[in-house]
Copies of this chain bind each other. A is one copy, B any other.
Amino acid sequence: MLDTEPLDIVGIRREVDAHLADFLDGKARAAAEHRLPGEVVEALRGFLFSGGKRVRPVLCVIGWHAAGGAGDAGPVVRAAASLEMFHAFALVHDDVMDDSATRRGRPALHHDLAARYRARADAPRRGVHAAILIGDLALAWSDEILHTAGLTPAQFQAALPVIDAMRSEIMYGQYLDLTHTGHPTDDLDTALRIIEYKTAKYTVERPLHLGAALARPEAGILSTLTGYGLPVGEAFQLRDDLLGTFGDPHDTGKPVLDDLREAKHTVLVALALQRADPMQKQQLRALIGRRDLDRDGAERIRAVLEATGARDAVEHMISSRLAQAMHVLGAAALPPPVVHALQAIARSATARPS
């Protein structure tokens, strides 16, 4: 990489997608050869290519550049692609657990699969079970993509502890999320830990670490990437929570009432409960978590989130985390194209409309 040439983010995305498509083509051929059901690969292909910004693979490749990675980027891009397949697993199971109706503006995979069995009384249950299995397969295949990425033995050995840590972290994050959904409290600390595990480490820090690990990183680079990655990841999730409550479903591709109906234990709600007067508290408790929450009810919740200053406080948390990440970038001795790319990602992740 020339120190003056910008990183080709669009090109990275295209290469990641090309590798995922190749991998699935191989799986489709293998399934046909062994007379195994082809719909498994096709369901996964449909899911993977219906959207997604490939943020984790892109960050992985940037992490490699950040740590001075040089030479053939092919194996790094392929290892990065494994993160996207893992993410497909995470999203499919997440949608099953949240019983989300849609993902990326289309029916969630378990609903999509249920439609195959529509002649049967237990179609929804079958859709869920097929989605659990296809998610499991995506997890196993993310491994296979990593195993066959063409990494050197040294790169591979360096990658494994990062992968292992990332997986435990996201699953603990999901578990924390799951066990706290349904009864949000004013416990801000827990809401922040859910964000840290479910998003900040998983989506930003560990992808950067994985890329860096593939490039024999100098001491200090991993903690620099953490110093950037955790605040950006937290800000990204805080923005997501705001969009989940105040956003336009046409932009987000997700129904705007899901988070409130599910009663997610978000920072936004924790802050509102901390600041609410008894009347406001009663309103929040009466409305959040109602499966039949309608537009009017949601509007009343939003009014309390605004009136308590919780919405502004979250906006402020996003800004301060963005500033913190920019500060870390400014102080670090990273190649300028890496700094520019990470700045752009931090801005778009925290200011994005969807």
Contact = CB atoms under 8 A, between A and B. Distances in A.
B93 A40 contact: no
Interface string A161-181: 101100110011011101100
A130 interface: yes
A133 interface: yes
Contact of A168 (B134, B137, B164, B172): B137
A220 B211 CA distance: 40
A130 B175 contact: yes
Interface string A107-151: 000000000000010100010011011101101110110010000
A97 interface: yes
Determine the main DSSP class of A at the interface with B: helix
A136 B133 contact: no
Nearest to A183: B120
Contacts of A143: 143, 163-164, 167
Nearest to A120: B182
Contacts of A153: 153, 157
Nearest to A171: B137
Chain A interface category by residue count: 35 or more
Interface in A21-39: 27, 30-31, 35-37
Contact of A37 (B120, B144, B163, B179): B179
A120 B180 CA distance: 12
B133 A35 contact: no
Given A133-B174, A137-B171, 13 more contacts: A37-B175, A93-B133, A97-B133, A122-B182, A130-B179, A132-B132, A134-B175, A137-B172, A140-B167, A140-B168, A141-B168, A147-B164, A153-B157
